[in-house]
Amino acid sequence: MIYKVLFAILFMGIQNFSYAQPYKIEEGVKRIVFVGNSITYAGGYINYIDTYLSIRYPKKNYEIINLGLPSETVSGLSEPNHANGAFPRPNLHDRLESLLNKTKPDLIFACYGMNDGIYKPLDETRFKKFRDGISRLHSEVVKQEAEIIHLTPPIYDGQKGKTYSDVLEVYSDWLMEQKRSSGWNVIDIHHPMKQELKIRRLKDPNFSFAKDGVHPNMAGHFIMAKAVLLSLGAEEFAQAKDFEKVLYQHKNGAEVFTHIQTRQRVSKDAWLTYVGHQRPKMNLGLSMEEARNILQDLKIKIQVLMNE
């Protein structure tokens, strides 16, 4: 089965990561929710996306909520001794109903895959669990009459282990195949990130986006955000090498970015606790009432800066 999928994917040539037909965030979209694992929870790429949208479309007043949860999967799989036996990996589907009911999103970005193969070689049983988990997520969001954009997983650094790097290649290619065959909205961050890593290593063989092979540094988060924003039509990012380009679009861009980082940090822990989850050792954050007061103050500060 795996090899048939691989052959079909390669035959279709979907590794050509073109941004020729960008997605458009529809009119009426206000609340945008990101779900994923620790990479999403870290929030670097979300901070960049939030900042760009705030500067580029200040009148849209998008509310961007980070509900990434470290260790999480959509496959429901977990290593026998995950976290030294402290707890199994959380499963998105244990909190998805609450998440959808409490956030009432207009648009969801979903980034899974990194943990879903539980760092083992490609296996049809595990691969099917990933496919089923993603398909179930897609169906549940559609039932809520919300839109979903899937993101392919970031790369696992091949210098840390080519076997698992290849697993994520297959998972990414399957997601891209759903774009062609099922009409899903899918943005590829995997292949652009892989290509950028190759380019960087031509200059510096020791360069890495993730020292542990998994968790991208801020340069890696920028490449993720760049792939998303290019797919949303932000053509000015085509030649951008870092995030300064977007900050300099507005004289107060750097200060806006600082406020958005604070906003995202306050928001994500409050929302995670409010929605509920089964992962221990997470920050409880503020109550939603306390968080909303702070977020409103930050919103006003950002609006003032944008109007100067």
CATH of the domain at 211: 3.40.50.1110
Whether residue 265 lies inside any domain: the answer is: no
Tell me whether residue 269 is in a domain. Answer: no
Does residue 53 fall inside a structural domain?
yes
Q: Is the pLDDT of residue 47 over 80?
A: yes
Q: Within a 10 A sphere around the Cβ of 188, how many other Cβ atoms?
A: 25
Could you list the residue range(s) of the whole structural domain that residue 199 is in? 24-239+276-283
What DSSP character marks residue 152? P
Task: Give the percent of the chain with pLDDT over 90.
Answer: 87
Amino acid at 270: A
pLDDT of 257-295, one tens digit each? 999 999 999 999 999 999 999 999 999 999 999 999 999
Q: Which residue has the tokens 């988990």?
A: 133
Q: How far apart are CA 193 and CA 153, in angstroms?
A: 10
- For 212, how many CA atoms within 13 A lie in the half-sphere containing its CB? 7
> Into how many domains does the chain fold?
1
For 69, the token pair is 């949860």
- What is the pLDDT at residue 240? 87
- Alpha-carbon distance 31 to 268, whole Å? 14
In a domain, 106, yes or no: yes
The reported pLDDT for the residue numbered 196 is 97
DSSP character for 61? -
Q: Are 185 and 147 in contact (CB under 8 A)?
A: yes
For residue 92, tell me if it sits in a domain: yes
Q: pLDDT tens digits for 157-204?
A: 999 999 999 999 999 999 999 999 999 999 999 999 999 999 999 999
Q: What angle do CA 159, 215, 25 make, to 5 degrees?
A: 120
Record the pTM.
Answer: 0.93
Q: Quick one: average pLDDT of 243-265?
A: 91
What does pLDDT average to over the chain? 92
In three-state secondary structure terms, 243 is coil
Q: Is 233 left (phi over 0), alpha (psi -120 to 50) or beta?
A: left
Cβ-in-10-Å burial (0-12, 13-18, 19+) of 305 comes to buried
Please give the Cα distance from 9 to 219 (Å, whole number): 29
- Enter the tokens of residue 205: 């063989």
Q: Which residues pair with 31 in a beta bridge?
A: 63
Alpha carbon distance 4, 13 (integer Å): 14
In a domain, 226, yes or no: yes
Cβ density class 57-66: b for 16+ within 10 Å, e for less: ebeeebbbbb
The answer to whether residue 79 sits within a structural domain is yes
**Are 68 and 35 contacting, i.e. CB atoms less than 8 angstroms apart?**
yes
Please name the amino acid found at residue 194.
Answer: K
How many angstroms separate the CA atoms of 94 and 47, rounded?
26
The closest alpha carbon to 139, from 97, 102, 189, belongs to 97
Judge whether 302 and 260 are in contact, CB under 8 Å. yes
- Give the pLDDT mean for 194-223: 97
164 in a structural domain: yes
Distance CA(280)–CA(296), nearest Å, equals 29
